[in-house]
Each structure stands twice: as structure tokens, then as C-alpha cells.
């Protein structure tokens, strides 16, 4: 039986096509997830929580498994002066989700700005976290952007 959670129920309610992949529930890096799934790491996107220097909800930035967020490049892309990278514990506290399970689809209507690195524009489908450790979802990039209201950014 395929795992169901708020993310899959949301996708079902919007009739957004997706595939669920279940993995061991411990924390995996995005590159480890790609290896477990047998897919290229360039199509597995991780969600990085990024803080703002001034007040405002953090940003959820999606980048490929093989990339790191460049805070200066991302700040320039978003018109921000300075961005901060919270610790894992702070990211978990800000989102209410465990690292390895942070997903913009699990945080809809929570006030987070969602952005996706422009590298995803080259892809038809990508893998993202399903909102909990051990749950991975593959869906069309256009559906992810539409569902989350994400903006395209330079983040690497």
C-alpha cells in the first residue's frame, strides 16, 4: 500500500499526477536518495530553508541534489540584501518538519516563499520530498511550480 499523507492527499485533490517512492525512513541526503532510487542526482531536488536578514517568513529554495545554494546569488535573484542559512535544528523549528522531509508541498499556506532553481526548467519531472522522511515524490515541474506558486531563481 502506498503511503498517504497531506502532500499526497493535496495532489490527489488537485488531480496532479505524481508517483510515490518509499525509502527507509532515516534521513538521507538528496544524493543518497538518488542512489536509492536509481536515478540521476540532477533530477532529485532538495528543499533548503533560507532565512531573511530582515523580518519575514523564510524562503524554501529547491536545488538539485548536486548543488549548494549560493546565498549571494539567491539574494540578488530575489532582490534581498542578505540571506542566512539556518542550522538544521532551526530549519526544523521554522518548518515543523524533520530535515530530509521538508517539502514546499507540505508547507502550503504557511507563508513561505517558494523558489526553484532555474536548472529545473530543463526537466520535465523531478523528485522532491513528500513531506516526511522516507517519502519521495516525482511530479512534473510545471505542476510543482503551479501548486506552490514558486518563482524561478538563480540559486547556485
The DSSP string of 95-131 is HSS-TT---GGGSTTTT-EEEEEGGGGG-SEEEEE-S
Helix (H) or strand (E) holding 135: strand 135-140
**In this predicted structure, what is the pLDDT of residue 2?**
64
Distance CA 98, CA 100 (A): 6
Can you give the pLDDT at residue 1? 45
pLDDT of residue 4: 87
Which CATH number is 6-153's, of 3.40.50.11540, 3.90.960.10, 3.30.70.2660, 2.130.10.10? 3.90.960.10
Which segments in the chain show pLDDT lower than 70?
1-2
pTM metric for this prediction: 0.95
- The pLDDT score that the predictor gives to residue 94 is 95
Which pLDDT does position 82 carry in this prediction? Answer: 94
Lookup: cell for 127: 523528485
Count of alpha carbons within 13 angstroms of residue 1, beta-carbon side: 3
Give the pLDDT confidence score for residue 62 in this predicted structure.
98
List the one residue out of 115, 147, 146 whose CA is nearest residue 6: 147
Provide the residue ranges of all domains of the chain, joining segments of one domain with +.
Answer: 6-153
Amino acid at each position: 500500500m502506498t503511503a498517504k499523507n497531506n502532500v499526497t492527499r493535496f495532489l490527489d485533490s488537485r488531480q496532479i499526477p505524481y508517483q510515490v517512492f518509499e525509502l527507509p525512513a532515516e534521513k538521507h541526503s538528496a544524493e543518497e536518495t538518488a542512489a536509492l532510487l536509481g536515478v540521476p542526482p540532477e533530477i532529485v531536488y532538495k528543499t533548503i530553508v533560507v532565512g531573511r536578514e530582515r523580518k519575514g517568513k523564510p524562503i524554501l529554495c529547491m536545488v538539485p541534489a548536486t548543488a549548494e545554494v549560493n546565498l549571494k546569488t539567491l539574494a540578488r535573484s530575489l532582490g534581498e540584501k542578505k540571506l542566512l542559512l539556518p542550522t538544521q535544528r532551526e530549519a526544523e523549528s521554522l518548518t515543523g518538519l524533520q530535515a530530509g522531509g521538508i517539502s514546499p508541498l507540505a508547507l502550503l499556506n504557511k507563508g513561505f516563499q517558494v523558489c526553484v532553481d532555474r536548472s529545473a526548467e530543463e526537466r520535465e519531472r523531478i523528485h522532491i520530498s513528500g513531506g516526511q522522511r522516507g517519502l519521495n515524490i516525482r511530479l512534473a515541474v510545471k505542476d510543482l511550480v503551479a501548486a506552490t506558486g514558486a518563482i524561478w531563481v538563480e540559486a547556485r
